[in-house]
Amino acid sequence: MDLNNIDHAYFHQLCINILFGCLALLVFVVIERLVYYGLLALRAGKIRAAIASHAIDSADASKKFGGDALSRGFAEYLDAQREPGVSRARIEDLSASLFMRVDSKISARLWILDTIVTAAPLLGLLGTILGIMDTFNALSSGGISDPAAVSRGIAAALIATAVGIGTALLGLVAHNMLHRQADVLIDGFKGALLAATFSAPPPLQKPLQQAAE
Task: Report the chain's terminal Cα–Cα distance, integer Å.
Answer: 92
Whether 195 is in a domain gets the answer yes
212 within some domain:
no
Is the Cβ–Cβ distance between 175 and 113 less than 8 Å?
Answer: yes
Number of domains in the chain: 1
Stretch (H or E) spanning 88? helix 88-106
Distance of CA 116 to the CA centre of its chain: 12
pLDDT in tens, 134-182: 777 777 666 556 667 677 778 888 899 999 999 999 999 999 999 999 9
Picking from 108, 102, 109, the residue whose alpha carbon sits closest to that of residue 72 is 102
Look at residue 87 and tell me if it is in a domain: yes
Distance CA 168, CA 113 (A): 9
Q: Specify the DSSP class assigned to residue 6.
A: S
Host domain of residue 105: 3-200
Q: Is residue 124 part of a domain?
A: yes
CA atoms of 143 and 45, how far apart (whole Å): 67
Q: Which of these ranges, 92-106, 150-164, 176-190, has the smallest mean pLDDT?
A: 150-164
pLDDT of residue 47 exceeding 60, the answer is: yes
**pLDDT tens track for 56-90:** 665 555 566 777 888 888 888 888 887 888 788 88
Residue 198 is predicted with a pLDDT of 61
Whole-number average pLDDT of the chain: 82
Residue 207 lies in a domain: no
Residue 87 is predicted with a pLDDT of 82
Determine, yes or no, domain membership for 8: yes
Inform me whether the pLDDT recorded for 4 exceeds 80.
no
Is 188's pLDDT higher than 80?
A: yes
pLDDT of residue 152: 76
Q: Which residue has the higher pLDDT, 154 or 212?
A: 154
What is the DSSP track for 72-92? HHHHHHHHHHTSTT--HHHHH
CB 111 within 8 A of CB 151: no
In this prediction, residue 199 has a pLDDT band, given cuts at 50, 70 and 90, of: very low
Given a cut of 80, whether residue 205 has pLDDT beyond it is: no
Predicted confidence at residue 58, as pLDDT, reads: 54
**pLDDT tens per residue, range 109-131:** 999 999 999 999 999 999 999 88
- Does some domain include residue 114? yes
